[in-house]
Each structure stands twice: as structure tokens, then as C-alpha cells.
Amino acid sequence: MDTKILIVDDDDSVRRFLERTLSERGYSISEADSASSARERMRSEMFDLVLCDVRMPGESGMDLVRFMRTDHPEAAVIMISALADPESVETALGLGVYGYLTKPFGPNEVLIGVASALRRRALEIENRSHREGLETAVFGRTQDLQRAIDQLKWTERALRASESRYRELFANMSSGVVVFEAKDEGNDFIIADSNRAAERIEGIRRDDAIGGSIVDVLPAVMRFGLIEVFQRVWRTGKPEHQPASLHDDDRGSGWRESYVYKLPTGEVVWVCDDITRRKQAELALRESEERNRSLRQAIPDLMFVLDKNGTFLDHHAPSTTDLYRSPQEFLGRSIVDVMPPPVGERSLACTEQVLKFGEAETLEYEIPIGEILRSFEARFVPCGRDKTLAIVRDITTRKRAELELKESERRLKAIFDCAADGILVVDAGHKGLCSANRAFCRMTGYSPAEITKLRVTDIHPKENRPYILEQFEKHVKGEITFARSLPVRRKDGRVFYADVNSTPVTIDGRLCLMGIFRDVTERTDAELALKEAERRFRTLLDNVGLLAVGLDREAKVAYANPCFQRATGYTIGEALGSDWFETFIPERDRATVAVVFKEILEEGAWPRYENLILTKGGEERRIVWYNTPLLAPSGDAVGTMSIGDDVTERRRAEEDLRETMRGLEDFNRIAVGRELKMIELKEEVNQLRSELGTEPKYETEDQPVEQGERP
């Protein structure tokens, strides 16, 4: 085939793809990376077809097409674009281009487009020839007319042969193709034809699909919005490219890429490619690249590739600050020449050993990086037949850590031996004592040698051993880490008490339990004494003739004594946990008593307070309370304790006495008033008698009555 095609695109990868695809079909291919380069090629060569990118640096593809319409109208043109821009497509078609390919495209789309354009060009050339022949026939050239007729017949036969070839291409191409006829003004599309690839991709049978509605045969098209694309293409005639999308229905799941265009006959063609494998490959490739990139970024080691002579061929370094020399200074040079003499010679020896025996070699060395002496570990492994890969790790931190660990072990041993608390290490399996510090030996009276011959049960009283073993198992399982006041038996048989903190440790591959023993014998004795004091105090409260009530911070009853039970009618069980205000304080007094309770907690106020309480029967009793806040070791108030004196009867007697006194005072006031009124009357009578000129009749404080005279 001597068909000549010119590819004009500034993208090298696109040109290579098109050149490879078309060359395989026998086309003669030329390339140009710009419109100006294409002009130069067309000045010296004639081309049957030009594949031209729309957008290129400098002169655009549209400008080149305008030039060709004037200077090279015989060449067919197919435009290439990364965007399915309807305006660009319309402009290109207006300039007379033969086709429009939208990136990305597959080989089949290219071959179909090229073949269609060439066929159309051939037909146009033939048509021009026919027209010329007909014009000649008008002037009486019958022989030319006959040749034209013969040529037309040949063209028809060629067209039929071409249609047969394209029918085979249609049937056997890898892209699925379905041809639709629009019905009901584009609201429905009936399948007119399909190829084998469409049957395979969409899971349909051609014979069953022909004549069927798109809604019934290809329901996925409806779900994924392709029906709207079909309708637009049918109405506008403008082709559309449907980007890759995931189709998932009852026939299966896969990635599809579609191209929809309208035929001159009005039919709509759907070209569909199953790109599932390509998508999976792209995804796998991206994941692989991401893993490799992450791996390279995550590896902190230096890597060097050396040949059999120790020459540096390649390297990988997360940071150039870790290199002894810059890459320009060591690449292509021998390791002996680059590294300090002892390190270079030993490294070359490792390289030779690896290549000779095929086994890895390890080398540790120190070299100065900048002004700091740093430690490295190089591992040499085979890399092909005559190369080695040196993986170099900075172990400066590890070396320092090892030194610090040794120093730490020395300090820990000193702490272990000099600690004031006893430290004991016990094998978690057979419960044998492994070692103990000096303090534990002093506590128990055993020597270090004697300790290693004992078991857990040997250092505790016989009667406590079941409990000790239970606690030991809980410590081993990590259920607890602290045991309080465990009895420990000394060598001489005496017993002391110790708080034990434990932690599991692994020593020489064995699981052990390390316990820290603190002698709390004095504290235990004090606690026992405190418990006895508490017992005596509770006995006192239970038997005293006063009410005793303890409240927590939420005013819930935490303690009540029998006297409180007798006074209120509530059993102690009923009282405990009840709300003090809701249960025992009259509603009218609750707000006031609540303020008093708060001030007792926060300020220690109201050491004495008097208020009414309610009994179970609803009777009100008046109690004088002597209050004190209860404090935690931190100093925070956790509740109150109150001792109450029931003064209800006393207050009633006092009220009766006050009522009696008020009666006496009223009686006295009435009697005295009456006497004063009589005196006033007597004075008025005496005054009248004086005005009448007679002697006063009554004796008053100012004027005594004469002897023998009576009122």
C-alpha cells in the first residue's frame, strides 16, 4: 500500500502511537511536531491524509487546515484533540475535515477513522473524475463517457468490496459497536445492528437484540446516563466521547469507554470498549509505583552498586549529607580510591568474597562525615553476575545506644543492689527465686546464695500460701500489679508485712516476675490500731443517746445510728443512700438547710445548727445539730458528720412556760389598769366637790381623806 500519511502533533507519545498503529497496516508515515514543520514537508511531498492536532505551540491545527484548503486541497484531514469541544468540532467540520478523534483513543478508532477518510477522499476524487467525464461527454466525447461508465462500474464493485471488507472489520473489531434507530422523536432507540464484540462486552445475543428497545436490552445504558448522550447526538449530530466509567449491573461489572456519533442516514452508533483489564493494569501499576516510591522513601539506608573491581556504578542516598563524598567525586571511581585506606581495602575484599562465594558479607567501620565521627554497617550482597550491592546503614545511634545501655545496666545494677526496697526476681513458670538485692536479703535474713534455692511458698507463712499463690498468678497474668500488706516469713520464722509492686520481665528467654517489696509492718500495725479505734468509736455512736448522721457530698445518707432510727422511724437500711433533703427535711426548709450544708462542706461553717426533720410518720422533730466536715487526705471535704440532740419536748415545755408567763403578764396588766382607772375617777369626784365648795371625799396620793370619812 503506497498511501502516504502525515502526522502533525507536538506530543511525541501520540506521534509514536499513531506511527506504530498505521505502519502495521502498511501506510507510509511521515511526522511533524508543529504546523510550520508540516508546511515544509508538504512543499516537497504530496500526502493522501494528514492527522493534525488542534492545539500546538505556535500555529494551531486549525490554521494549518485553512492553509491546506488553499494550497493542498487534495489531502484529506482528520483533526485530533484532547477535548471533545463541540465548538472546535463544528469549526473543523466547517473547514472540510474528514474526521475528528478525541484523546485518548484506541487503535481501532484510528484505523476506522483513517479508512473512512481515505475512502471518502477516494470517492470524492472519483466523483470529480466522473464529473469531468460527464462534462466531456456533453461536448460529444462518447468514448470518454463510456470509460467513465466503466470506471463507475468498477467503482461500484470496489465500493461493494470495500463494504464487504468493512463489514468484516465491523464484525471482528475488538470494540463493541451497536447501531440504533431513533423512535418516538428520540425518546427510545431500537437496536438495528451489533457486532460480536458488543455481544461479548454487554453479554447479549445479536439475534435476540436486533429490533429490541435499548431500555429492555441494555438497561445499564439507562442507569449510567448514556441515553441522554444518545439523544443529544441524535438531535445535534455532534459526536460525543464518554470517558471511562464503571458499569455494574446483573450481567457483571467492568470499565467502559464509549464514543457516540450519528450516521448520515440518521442512525446513532455506539462504539464501546471494555477497558477493565487496562484499568486494572493501570491501578496495579499505580499501586506498584506507589509501593516502590514509598519503599524508597522509607528506606533510610545508603545503597551503592559496585562492579567486580569495586568501582561505583550507581547509588541511592536519602540525603547527600550522609555521603562521605559527593556523587561527582565517587561515581566511576574505585572504592579503594574513594574511602579511607582501611575501609576501602576491607570493602573491596568483601566485594570479592561475595562474587566468589555468592554469600552476603558484613562490614562495620567508622569514618568522619563532616566533623562528626560516625559508625556504619555495610552489607554486601550479589547483584547480577559481576556486580555487588552494598547496603550501608548508619549505626551511630545504635552504637551510642549500646554504650548507653551498658552504662545504664551498670547504673541499674547499682540501683538494684543499693535500693532501700527489697527487689526479688521469680521464675513465672516453676516459681523459683532467681535473684534478690541486698535489701531483700536483709529483710528476710537469707543470703543471695540461699535465695536461689527457695521457691515462692518458702518465704510466706504456711497458712497464707494459697492466697499468696493466687496473687502470684494474677501478677503473672497482668491482672494486678500491686498487692497490699502481704505477709512475708523471715528465715528465723518471724513475719513482717510488705506492699509488693510487680512487673513481668524476660530474662534469658524466660518469663519472670520482678517484685519490689516495701516493709509496711509499722503501717499495718497502725492500720490495725486505727480499725480498733474506729470500732470503738462506732460502738460509742451506736450506743450514745444522741442522733448521729453522716452525709456524702451529694447529701446522701452514708451513716445513721440506732438512735436516729428510733427518732425517725426509718430503719438504718431505709435511711442509708436516701436523699437527706427529700426524705428528712420539710419542703419549706429545704432551700435554707441546703445552703447551710454547702457552707459546712466548703467553709466549715455552722458548727451548731437547729432545724426540723420529718419522721417516717410525717411528724416534725426539732434537732440541734453539732456539725463537722469530713476531709480526705488531700484536704478536700468528702461529706459531713453531725451529732443531733432531739429538743422537741424541751422546746414544747419552753413554749408552754412562755405561754403561762404571757397570761400572767396580761392579768397583771388588767389589774393594774383597773386600779389606775379608780384613782382617776376619785380625783375627778374630788375636783367636782372642790368646785362646789365642799371637802374632797376620797383620799388620793396628793390629798388624803379626813379621818372617819368614807367614800
Q: Which of 230, 247, 281 finishes a domain?
A: 281
Q: Which of 614, 646, 678 finishes a domain?
A: 646
Total structural domains in the chain?
6
Q: Does 393 lie in the same domain as 315?
A: yes
In contact, 65 and 39? CB cutoff 8 Å: no
Whether 65 has a pLDDT exceeding 90, the answer reads no
Mean pLDDT of 280-298: 75
Q: Does 205 lie in the same domain as 161?
A: no
pLDDT in tens, 490-509: 999 999 999 999 889 888 88
pLDDT in tens, 398-436: 888 888 878 877 776 777 777 888 999 999 988 999 999
Q: In what order do the strands lie in the sheet with 28-32?
A: 28-32, 4-8, 49-53, 76-81, 99-102
pLDDT in tens, 295-336: 766 677 889 999 989 999 998 888 888 888 889 989 999 999
Question: Is 90 domain-assigned?
Answer: yes
Q: Does 383 lie in the same domain as 270?
A: no
CATH number at residue 114: 3.40.50.2300
* pLDDT grade for 145, boundaries at 50, 70 and 90: low
Report the mean per-residue pLDDT for the chain: 83
Q: Does 629 lie in the same domain as 705?
A: no
User: What does the alpha-carbon distance between residue 165 and residue 119 come to, in Å, rounded to a whole number?
Assistant: 12
Residue 341 preceded by cis peptide, ω within 30:
no
User: What does the alpha-carbon distance between residue 556 and residue 115 come to, in Å, rounded to a whole number?
Assistant: 96
Q: Does 55 lie in the same domain as 138?
A: yes
Whether 211 has a pLDDT exceeding 50, the answer reads yes
Question: Is 651 domain-assigned?
Answer: no
pLDDT at 711: 36
b/e burial code for range 262-275 (CB count within 10 A of at least 16 → b): beeeebbbbbbbbb
Tell me which of 5-19, 68-82, 687-701 is least confident.
687-701
- Selection from 628, 621, 629 nearest residue 564 by Cα: 621
* pLDDT grade for 388, boundaries at 50, 70 and 90: very high
Q: Does 343 lie in the same domain as 317?
A: yes
pLDDT at 59: 86
Of 295 and 217, more confident = 217
pLDDT at 87: 78
* pLDDT grade for 705, boundaries at 50, 70 and 90: very low
Whether 230 has a pLDDT exceeding 60, the answer reads yes
User: What does the alpha-carbon distance between residue 534 and residue 525 come to, in Å, rounded to a whole number?
Assistant: 14
Of 686 and 469, more confident = 469
Q: Which domain holds residue 596?
A: 544-646
Q: Does 329 lie in the same domain as 224?
A: no
CATH number at residue 567: 3.30.450.20
Question: Is 653 domain-assigned?
Answer: no
User: What does the alpha-carbon distance between residue 471 and residue 556 come to, in Å, rounded to a whole number?
Assistant: 36
* pLDDT grade for 709, boundaries at 50, 70 and 90: very low
- Selection from 527, 456, 510, 531 nearest residue 488 by Cα: 456
pLDDT at 333: 93
Q: Does 370 lie in the same domain as 431?
A: no
Q: Does 137 lie in the same domain as 203?
A: no
User: What does the alpha-carbon distance between residue 512 and residue 670 come to, in Å, rounded to a whole number?
Assistant: 100
Contacts of residue 489, defined as CB under 8 A and 6 or more positions apart, other chains included, come to 444, 458, 459, 460, 461, 495
Question: Is 667 domain-assigned?
Answer: yes
Q: Does 179 lie in the same domain as 151?
A: no
Indicate the residue type of 569.
Answer: G
Question: Is 655 domain-assigned?
Answer: no
Q: Does 150 lie in the same domain as 9?
A: yes
Q: Does 349 lie in the same domain as 273?
A: no
In contact, 36 and 59? CB cutoff 8 Å: yes
pLDDT at 307: 93
Q: Which of 116, 132, 167 finishes a domain?
A: 167
pLDDT at 224: 66
Whether 710 has a pLDDT exceeding 70, the answer reads no
Question: Is 531 domain-assigned?
Answer: no
Tell me which of 116-130, 203-217, 246-260, 324-338 is least confident.
246-260
Kindly state the helix (H) or strand (E) to which residue 371 belongs, with its residue range.
none
Whether 580 has a pLDDT exceeding 90, the answer reads yes
Question: Is 287 domain-assigned?
Answer: no
Question: Is 69 domain-assigned?
Answer: yes
pLDDT in tens, 346-365: 999 999 999 999 899 999 99
